[in-house]
Amino acid sequence: MNQLGFPILSLITYLPLLGAFIVATLSGNDEKVACKARNVSLIFSLIVLALGVFLWTQFNPAIAGYQFVEVMPWLSGVNIEYRMGVDGISLFLIMLTLLLTPVAIIASHGIKTRARSFFAAMLLLETMTVGMFAATDFVLFYVFFEAVLLPMYLIIGVWGGEKRVYAAVKFFLFTLAGSLFMLLAVVWIWRNLGTTNMAVMTHARIPAQAQTWLFLAFLAAFGVKAAVWPLHTWLPDAYGEAPVPGTIMLAAVLSKMGAYGFLRFAIPMLPQASASFEPLMFVLGVVAVIYISYVALAQTDMKRMIAYSSVAHMGVIIIGLFTFTVEGVEGALFQMLSHGLVIAGLFICAGVITSRGETLTLRNLGSLAVNMPVFAAALLFFTLANMGLPGTSGFIGEILVIVGALKVNFWVSLLGGAGMVLGVTYSLVLVRAVLFEKYARPKLMELKDLTGREYAMLLPLAVLVMWLGVYPSSFTHAFDAPVAALVQAHTAALNSHTAIAMVTAQ
């Protein structure tokens, strides 16, 4: 058992599941059920958030390995255990999930039809996501990783926009096809290493030949999830069609699953393959940053524009991860958190507009700054954070990644850094089209400014974005230890292999 004496990670993981059961069994007329379901799921998500904060306070940042470890027998006979644990890398991703679930639930005010199923699906999603970040057994990880698809498929397909069915099926099949390659990798590792315990797996030495294949399998699985160009095509459809709370979870949390997978499996387990695929990953990252920024510029719909900007930022994260420097990896991690908060803020802003009965087509919007000044300030703030203005969280992440990349390759650093400039272009286009251009329609004059509920969603996010931007070390100090260990192990593995190669060559 862990240092707290009770299984806090399992508690955080499965409390929402209990909530989902309670929500699913509520009864009454539609209106009442929607209200009750929202309240119950909000309460559950806030309780687990409180538990998460407690977890953070108890967390010891000096330890590089897993903490709060839980081990139980699970698949007996094939030697697979139920293992949970967190380290500095997963801690904040769990916190991000725990924070954004209540925000997304508050953002679900517009969901009236089949509310029980919706809120049950949201809580189920929280369970699966937290479980995935907390799992430290590969098979368990895979179970959670795939299970995320089930609630998300329904959230997009049932409550989404016009092309929701297409988007949902595309999302499901893309991710399923990708993750089945990972299943092959799981089975390979299971057979050849004899264990699926992630702490042991990461230190195993895998032959270079096999590493290449495993890396490609991971690239298929995590690349689709992280929407690495060119595997991103499901993303604009899914983000565009999902209801706002679904988009928040997808963009802010689920897209991090892919990057987390690279960081957890591909880089530590496959040092040689990661090193030899580094140029490819850099190219993919740079293409995402530059090409997708241009694609974002061409969008005519606010949600899709934000969606593409998210793909561009994932490119920065990928570049950071594959620099294998402390700065680059920390920058990528920081960018994951920052991007999660910022993109959630932006999609909530989009939700503010839709909840007032307007479409998100940029041509139909304009001059919202006149009678929605607070909304305008919020949108501007998150847009600036999105393009990495100093003082916001976006800046820290990008600058760290650029510094990390600079140590490795000047051009990658330059081109990756160009994303910050290109980000300005589409961000400003977005702000101008939504807030400033002259009235498209007189009806826009009558829109009301932010309500209390919307403050409740946007304020915490804005505060956190500032906090991360002004005092980043309160977060980075937790992932200093694991990232340093990761980078060190990576370098050591590469060097030892070169040494062996030299010996055999002689």
Partner 1 sequence: MTDFYSLLPALFLGLGGMILLLGGVLAKGSNTTPAVTFGAVLLLIIAAVLSLLAPDALLFGGLLKTSLFTRYADTLVYLGAIAALILSLDYNKREQISRFEYPILVLFAVLGMTVMISAADMMSLYIGFELQSLALYICAALARDSVRSTEAGLKYFVLGALASGLLLYGISLVYGFAGTTNFAALAGIFQQGAGSGAIAGVVFVLVGLAFKISAAPFHMWAPDVYEGAPSSVTALFATAPKAAAMALLLSVMAGPFGHLTGQWEILIQILAVLSMVIGGLAAIGQSNIKRLFAYSSIGHMGYALMGLVTGTVAGIQASLVYIAIYVVMSFGAFACVIAMRRNGQAVEQIGDLAGLAAEHPGFAFAFAVLMWSMAGIPPLAGFFAKLYVFYTAFNAGYETLAIIAIVTSVISAFYYLRVIKVMYFDKGQPQFDKTSAGAGFVMAVSAFAVMFFVVIPGPLMTAAGAAAKALMG
| Site residues, partner 1 (CB under 8 A) | 73-78, 113-114, 116-117, 139, 142-144, 146-147, 149-150, 153-154, 157-158, 164-165, 168-169, 172-173, 176-177, 180-181, 183-184, 187-188, 190-191
The per-type count for the chain, helices as H runs and strands as E runs, is 22, 2
Q: Which residue has the tokens 């329609």?
A: 441
Cβ partners under 8 Å of residue 432, min gap 6: none
CA distance 286 to 282: 6
Return the number of the residue (241 or 398) whose C-beta is nearest partner 1.
241
Return the number of the residue (218 or 334) whose C-beta is nearest partner 1.
218
Return the number of the residue (57 or 76) whose C-beta is nearest partner 1.
76
Three-state DSSP at 22 gives helix
The amino acid occupying position 60 is N
Three-state DSSP at 82 gives strand
Min dist CB 102 to partner 1, Å, is: 24
Give which of 74, 191, 76 is closest to 135, Cα–Cα. Answer: 74
Return the number of the residue (14 or 291) whose C-beta is nearest partner 1.
14
Min dist CB 267 to partner 1, Å, is: 24
In sequence order, what are the beta bridge partners of 70? 84
Return the number of the residue (184 or 484) whose C-beta is nearest partner 1.
184
Tokens standing for residue 83 = 């293992």
Min dist CB 329 to partner 1, Å, is: 29
Min dist CB 128 to partner 1, Å, is: 8
How many Å is the Cα radius of gyration of the chain?
22
Min dist CB 18 to partner 1, Å, is: 14
Return the number of the residue (157 or 331) whose C-beta is nearest partner 1.
157
Min dist CB 30 to partner 1, Å, is: 11
Give which of 235, 239, 401 is closest to 318, Cα–Cα. Answer: 401
Min dist CB 157 to partner 1, Å, is: 4
Give which of 203, 196, 186 is closest to 135, Cα–Cα. Answer: 196
Q: How far is the CA of 48 from the CAs of 44, 45, 51, 99, 336, in angstroms?
A: 6, 5, 5, 9, 21
Which DSSP letter does residue 361 get? B
Return the number of the residue (11 or 447) whose C-beta is nearest partner 1.
11
Min dist CB 233 to partner 1, Å, is: 17
- Distance from first CA to last CA of the chain, Å, rounded? 50
Q: Quick one: 448 exposed, middle or buried, by C-beta within 10 A (0-12, 13-18, 19+)?
A: exposed
CA distance 402 to 417: 6
Return the number of the residue (84 or 312) whose C-beta is nearest partner 1.
84
